[in-house]
Amino acid sequence: GKYLDGAITRGLKSHREHDSTIKRRESLIRHLQKIFSTRFKGCDLQAFGSSQTGLNLRNGDVDLCLIIDSKDSRKLLKRMRGILNDQGMEDIITIPRARIPIVKFRDPRSGFEVDIAINNSLAVHNTKLLKSYSECDPRIKELILTVKYWALQRAICDAYEGTFSSYAWTLMAIAHMQIIEPNLAPNLQLSEQREEVKIGKIVYDITVSNQITPGDSKCTTGELLAGFFDRFARGWDWQNDVISIANGGSISRKEKGWKFANPGAIEVMEAADEGEELPMGYHHLSIEDPFDKEHDLCRVVRPEGELTIRDELLRAARMVAEGKPFAKICEVVRPERFKNEQPEDLFHDLRTLKEHEIQSKLDNITSEIDTLTTRMDALEN
């Protein structure tokens, strides 16, 4: 896997966020905080997810969590929709009946996709855990980002489409490093002193150790990536093991009590071909949430998604074994998915234009400025 190192470093560099993007996101978050705190008394709008962990690529969404005392999430989401609509937000979608009620939208000015989850305070805590992992060693951050990038390019990183969330891929990457290089990625939930929070009626152990022992490990990010693909393509017993970073990488299904339930993905798809609708069995590609131990992150995975994820892992493992370049391994699937991507920088829309097209744009803008200047002069007079 060492041969991948150079390409990974270059790839991550070119996908790092621009400073202007970070500023734009911060000002959007501040704006939303102001809007919501004036509309809802005593609420708190907190940021979590990749914008806070530093585990973000250029096209990450903005994850926010509204902490609010409200019983009726349907009504609340309806009000939020109204507020966001007044703010000129676009493509507003509310999902009131999800495990965590959510409103999604796009800010047309900054181009950001935003998710606001209601009372998902556990996510604020697990964000801290991920941040601690990413700060343990640069290789941890690099592997997570690389895995996320690969999964995104290969279209297997979207919980709404029935594949894994970025969060699930992040946990998988950490689990792999915990197993292969425990020095590099020690279990950060093992501290003597425990910390708990009560959310609703449930008490969660949210301990995150901050006494991190620096790792003595020589592996490179490329080797970690090669190992990651190999582990989850060939070396992982999905029928008997559960991914668990709280338990040092894995835990047996027996201990966990999660049975691999039928029908499986193939049976569900075969039944669908016959016009029959079967509900998919639980716990196929099991990933335990580090704090909410009852939550299996593969719950959102649909049959096609499951088969695609497994195919993609095999494809990547095979390509690494054949020494294929990183760019080929991460070749984009369905590029049209990225058409809404935010501009990289101020000159983004100019790079593909011919010189005379730019000149005519410039002429137009200059004449607009002239008109405005004349108008301003008139007003001032």
Q: How deeply is 308 buried, as exposed, middle or buried, from its count of CB atoms within 10 A (0-12, 13-18, 19+)?
A: buried
Please tell me whether residue 222 binds ligand CTP under the rule CB under 6 A. no
Count of other CB atoms within 10 angstroms of residue 261: 12
For ligand CTP, the binding residue among 4, 55, 92, 172 (CB under 6 A) is 55
112: left (phi > 0), else alpha (psi -120 to 50), else beta? beta
Nearer of residues 166 and 221 to ligand CTP, judged by Cβ: 166
Compose the 49-88 pattern: x for residues touching Mg ion by CB under 5 A, - for all others: xx----------x-x-------------------------
Window of 57-65, 80-88, 242-250, 350-358 that interacts with ligand CTP by CB under 6 A: 57-65
Please tell me whether residue 288 binds ligand CTP under the rule CB under 6 A. no
Q: Are 140 and 172 in contact (CB under 8 A)?
A: no
105 binds, among Mg ion, ligand CTP, none (CB under 5 to 8 A by kind): none
Total residues contacting ligand CTP (rule CB under 6 A)?
17
Helices then strands, counting H and E runs in the chain, come out as: 13, 9
Residue nearest to ligand CTP (CB): 60
Nearest-angstrom CA–CA distance, 226 and 219: 11
- 3-state class of 305 per DSSP? helix
Which of 40, 57, 37 minimizes the C-alpha distance to 49? 57
Please tell me whether residue 101 binds ligand CTP under the rule CB under 6 A. no
Please tell me whether residue 165 binds ligand CTP under the rule CB under 6 A. yes
130 binds, among ligand CTP, Mg ion, none (CB under 5 to 8 A by kind): ligand CTP
Count of other CB atoms within 10 angstroms of residue 302: 15
* Shortest distance, position 213 Cβ to Mg ion, whole Å: 29
For ligand CTP, the binding residue among 25, 29, 46, 56 (CB under 6 A) is 56
Q: Are 30 and 110 in contact (CB under 8 A)?
A: no
For ligand CTP, the binding residue among 73, 126, 250, 286 (CB under 6 A) is 126
Q: 224 phi and psi, to 5 degrees?
A: -60, -40
Please tell me whether residue 119 binds ligand CTP under the rule CB under 6 A. no
Window of 42-50, 84-92, 177-185, 347-355 that interacts with Mg ion by CB under 5 A: 42-50
- Report H helices in the chain: 5-15, 19-39, 50-53, 73-86, 121-136, 138-153, 166-180, 221-233, 253-256, 265-273, 303-321, 326-329, 355-380
For ligand CTP, the binding residue among 36, 105, 133, 167 (CB under 6 A) is 167
Residue nearest to Mg ion (CB): 49
Count of other CB atoms within 10 angstroms of residue 318: 15
Binding interface with ligand CTP (CB under 6 A): 48-50, 55-56, 60-61, 63, 123, 126-127, 130, 165-167, 170, 297
Binding interface with Mg ion (CB under 5 A): 49-50, 61, 63
